[in-house]
Amino acid sequence: MFLKSSCGFSLAELAVVLLISTLLLGGMLVPLSAQNELRRTAETGKTLNEVRDALLGFAIANGRLPCPASAGATGAEAGGGALACAAATAGVADGFLPGAGMGLSPVDGQGYLLDAWGNRVRYAVSVAPGAAANAFTTSKGISNFWQANNTPPAADLQICTNSASIANPGTAKADCKASDALTKGAVAVIYSLGKNSATAGAGVDEAANLNGDRVFVAHEARPAGASGGEFDDLVVWLSTNILYNRMVAAGILP
């Protein structure tokens, strides 16, 4: 006597298979989303480092650094050359990276450089208040100051590890506590507001990068519940040591 073998699946078996498939698919979607964010973060970090190199090339070719581009304009630097940077307040000219004018990509239709989230890359440069005012962005400003004073102009942009350590925020006297300062002599800062660009500034650490003063905050990414609030800004900077080393090597300085 032979038993007839059954074919196919019962409804209960199909339900189990469907449940397992759903769980597996759901488990794959979360890592994929996380991987996409990691990729965008890495791409943006690479872009910011390339901008830093491009700034060095610009300085060697032009004897100065570019001014930031203003919002709602053409993506070209606002000022520079014979002119002071536009809208320079609190010891810093802060705006957007003039991507098209520097031959960088990708840029939007107005020539502003974009990060991996499609947001405009931001850029700030020291206006070196006092005797060295605007030396970094005016034609031959650096070399003229150096020759007249037998010393190069000092930059004053600061990178702080948290906003709580910043005294007098939003003013020309903004200052990071020495123990929490990554540098107090950056000549330029290049930064992305990250994935949350549309709502950036909700956390106090992110807000410190948008208040127009000379102190910027940089640290690892943190969630909304962390001290200082949500933070996903990416920040790199250019020191005067590197800038002057490259310009001297190229015969631009002193």
Give the bridge partners for 80, in sequence order: 83
Spatial CB neighbours of 138, under 8 Å, sequence gap ≥ 6: 64, 80, 81, 82, 83, 84
Around Cβ 208, how many Cβ atoms within 10 Å?
26
What are the pLDDT digits (tens) for 211-236?
999 999 999 999 888 888 899 999 99
More confident residue, 26 or 88: 88
Domain boundaries in the chain?
13-249
What are the pLDDT digits (tens) for 52-62?
999 999 999 99
Give the bridge partners for 188, in sequence order: 125, 238
pLDDT at 8 over 70: no
Highest-confidence range of 33-37, 111-115, 130-134, 226-230, by mean pLDDT?
111-115
Inter-residue contact 186 to 235 (CB < 8 Å): no
Around Cβ 63, how many Cβ atoms within 10 Å?
19
pLDDT at 12 over 80: no
Question: What is the mean predicted confidence (pLDDT) over 199-207?
Answer: 80
C-alpha to C-alpha distances, 147 to 95, 150, 254, nearest whole angstrom:
30, 5, 7
pLDDT at 242 over 70: yes
Q: What is the pTM of this model?
A: 0.84
